[in-house]
Amino acid sequence: VEVEETYIMIKPDGVQRGLVGEIISRFEKKGFKLTGLKLFQCPKELAQEHYKDLQSKPFFPKLIDYITSGPVVCMAWEGVGVVASARKLIGATNPLNAEPGTIRGDLAVQTGRNVVHGSDSPENGKREIALWFKEGELCEWAPVQEPWLKE
Residue 6, annotated as binding a ligand: no
111 near ligand DAT, rule: CB under 6 A:
yes
93 near ligand DAT, rule: CB under 6 A:
yes
- Considering 117, 125, 128, 129, which one is annotated as catalytic? 117
Nearest to 78 by CA among 114, 126, 46: 126
How big is the CA angle at 97 (ends 33 and 18), to the nearest 5 degrees?
50
Q: Which does 50 bind (CB under 5 to 8 A by kind): Mg ion, ligand DAT, none?
A: none
Nearest to 138 by CA among 50, 38, 39: 38
**Angstrom distance (rounded) from CA 55 to CA 140:** 34
Residue 26, annotated as binding a ligand: no
Identity of the residue, 35 or 114, whose beta carbon is nearer to ligand DAT in the bound complex: 114
63 near ligand DAT, rule: CB under 6 A:
yes
Q: Shortest Cβ distance from residue 139 to ligand DAT (Å)?
A: 26
50 is catalytic: no
Residue 57, annotated as binding a ligand: no
Q: Which does 59 bind (CB under 5 to 8 A by kind): Mg ion, ligand DAT, none?
A: ligand DAT
Which residues bind to Mg ion, rule: CB under 5 A? 120
127 near ligand DAT, rule: CB under 6 A:
no
Chain positions contacting ligand DAT, by CB under 6 A:
54, 59, 63, 93, 111-112, 114, 117, 120
Residues with catalytic roles: 117
